[in-house]
């Protein structure tokens, strides 16, 4: 599933092509996504895209008429192409712009979404989200206070979108390794000092992934069709049975919350 860096890379990829441009037509080729595409998205027609923003893993196309909300789901990707380029299989939604370009949502598994938010309203999908990890609202004190009394494993804790958005499986694995924290440690038993170490590492790990174009995943490509390159630098994720880069202990894998969790038994406590 595309994680926060991949979604941010998509935002950075499409923004220069569509910000300030007028939507001439909204075409729904298959509206049966995770939720049915609402008819209201047609209100984007004949309006300009004022901003392209991201909240958690959602992309927001803001206009005076309202906001189109895109989610890539498990296998979705966005491409900016010439509007007369033939559709590809699984191109479900496209926006045609006044500059001759089209933004297309391609989603083989159809777990993505294209939702609508009226002006000055907040869609229900944003109601209970925690702070963005790359903002000042996310800090060690926030993690420490939110974790008190929590018996859940710290890896699941930092992946909880109610606590902080966008710290997906890959980056939780990597951040906990760099901070030397065992992924199964109870969140409520981790000290403020250790959260003070973990928090900037999460920020740095996500920022590095965005800088390098998102992690290369089977189903992910940037808006220009090129994959990301951060996967070359993964220290533990996907490396079960390989030696730890720090101590050469063989990395172990367990399942936490049905997700693959790879860690070093020596370096992470």
Whether the Cβ atoms of residue 174 and residue 204 lie closer than 8 Å to each other: no
To the query of whether residue 2 is one of the catalytic residues in this protein, the response is: yes
Nearest Cα residue to 77 out of 15, 141, 13, 165: 13
- The active-site residue, picked from 3, 15, 94, 174, is 3
User: Is 185 one of the annotated active-site residues of the chain?
Assistant: no
Pairing, β 101-106 against β 77-82: antiparallel
Whole-number Å distance between alpha carbons of 168 and 260: 11
Is 3 labeled as catalytic in the residue annotation? yes
Marked catalytic residue, from 54, 57, 79, 239? 57
Using the CB atoms, write b or e for 181-198: b if 16+ within 10 Å: bbbebebeebeeebbebb
Rounded to an integer, what distance in angstroms lies between the CA atom of residue 265 and that of residue 269? 7
Of the candidates 2, 5, 133, 183, the residue annotated as catalytic is: 2
**Pair 69, 59: CB distance under 8 Å:** yes
Residue 180 contacts residue 235 (beta carbons within 8 Å) = no
Cβ pair 163, 153 in contact under 8 A = no
For helices 4-18 and 192-211, angle between their N-to-C axes, nearest 10 degrees: 40
Length of the chain measured in residues: 269
148 carries an active-site annotation: no
Angle at 121 between CA 116 and CA 122, to 5 degrees: 75
Q: Which residues are catalytic?
A: 2-3, 57, 259
């Amino acid at each position: 599933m595309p994680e926060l860096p991949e979604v941010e890379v998509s935002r950075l990829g499409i923004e220069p092509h569509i910000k300030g441009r007028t939507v001439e037509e909204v075409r729904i080729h298959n509206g049966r996504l995770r939720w049915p595409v609402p008819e209201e998205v047609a209100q984007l027609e004949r309006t300009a895209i004022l901003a392209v923003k991201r909240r958690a893993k959602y992309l927001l196309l803001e206009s005076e008429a309202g906001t189109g909300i895109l989610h890539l789901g498990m296998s979705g990707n966005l491409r900016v192409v010439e509007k007369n380029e033939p559709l590809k299989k699984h191109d479900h939604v496209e926006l045609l712009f006044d500059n001759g370009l089209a933004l297309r949502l391609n989603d083989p598994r159809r777990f993505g979404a294209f939702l609508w938010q009226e002006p000055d309203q907040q869609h229900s999908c944003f109601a209970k989200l925690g702070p963005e990890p790359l903002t000042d609202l996310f800090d060690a004190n926030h993690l420490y206070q939110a974790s008190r009394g929590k018996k859940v494993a710290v890896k699941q804790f930092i992946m909880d979108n109610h606590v902080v958005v966008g710290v997906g499986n890959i980056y939780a694995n990597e951040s906990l390794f760099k901070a030397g924290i065992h992924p199964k440690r109870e969140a409520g038993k981790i000290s403020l000092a250790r959260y003070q170490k973990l928090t900037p590492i999460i920020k740095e790990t996500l920022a590095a992934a965005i800088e390098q174009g998102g992690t290369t995943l089977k189903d992910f490509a940037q808006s220009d069709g090129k994959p990301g390159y951060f996967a070359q630098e993964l220290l533990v994720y996907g490396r079960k049975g390989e030696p730890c880069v720090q101590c050469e202990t063989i990395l172990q894998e367990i399942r936490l919350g049905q997700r693959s969790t790879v860690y070093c038994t020596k370096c992470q406590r």
